[in-house]
Every structure is written in structure tokens, then in C-alpha cells.
């Protein structure tokens, strides 16, 4: 049976960068790498909410990106 082990984690804050000349939303991202794979999602969300007021743009979403190694 194959198993996977998370080898790298990051969380990404998606920010509203306003609108372009066509009226479409400009989406900006800030990535924070080297997050402990065992970090709880609630903790990452809490950190993002604390960082959001320090950003120039409004927070839209928070995502977690994990990379995993799959072995036999």
C-alpha cells in the first residue's frame, strides 16, 4: 500500500489588488514557506488574520499548499 509523507508546507494569502483597466480584479499573493507540516489549519488562519491588517491590500483567502512524497 502506498503512503505519503508531507515534506514541505506553505500558506498563501490571496489579496485584492484592486481592478485593472478592464474592471477585472487584480489578485496578489504572498507565500510563507517552511511552515511545519504539523501546523494546524486554525493556527495558520489565525496568523493570516493577524498579518492581514499589516498588508496594503484586503485579504481574500488563505490557502495551505503541501508537497508530499509518495512511497510504497
Average pLDDT over residues 12-40: 95
**What pTM was estimated for this model as a whole?**
0.80
Q: For residue 15, which of 52, 44, 57 has the smallest C-alpha distance?
A: 57
Between the CA of residue 28 and those of 31, 32, 33, 49, 59, what are the distances in Å? 10, 14, 16, 16, 9
Report pLDDT digits (tens) over 36-65. Answer: 989 999 999 999 999 999 999 999 999 999
pLDDT at site 68: 94
Coil/strand/helix, residue 48 = helix
pLDDT at site 12: 96
Instruction: In the chain, count H helices and then E strands.
Output: 1, 3
Amino acid at each position: 500500500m502506498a503512503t505519503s509523507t508531507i515534506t514541505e508546507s506553505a500558506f498563501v494569502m490571496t489579496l485584492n489588488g484592486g481592478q485593472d483597466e478592464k474592471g477585472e480584479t487584480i489578485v496578489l499573493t504572498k507565500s510563507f514557506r517552511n511552515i511545519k507540516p504539523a501546523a494546524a489549519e486554525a493556527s495558520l488562519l489565525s496568523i493570516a488574520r493577524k498579518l492581514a491588517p499589516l498588508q496594503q491590500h484586503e485579504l481574500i483567502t488563505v490557502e495551505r499548499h503541501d508537497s508530499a512524497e509518495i512511497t510504497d
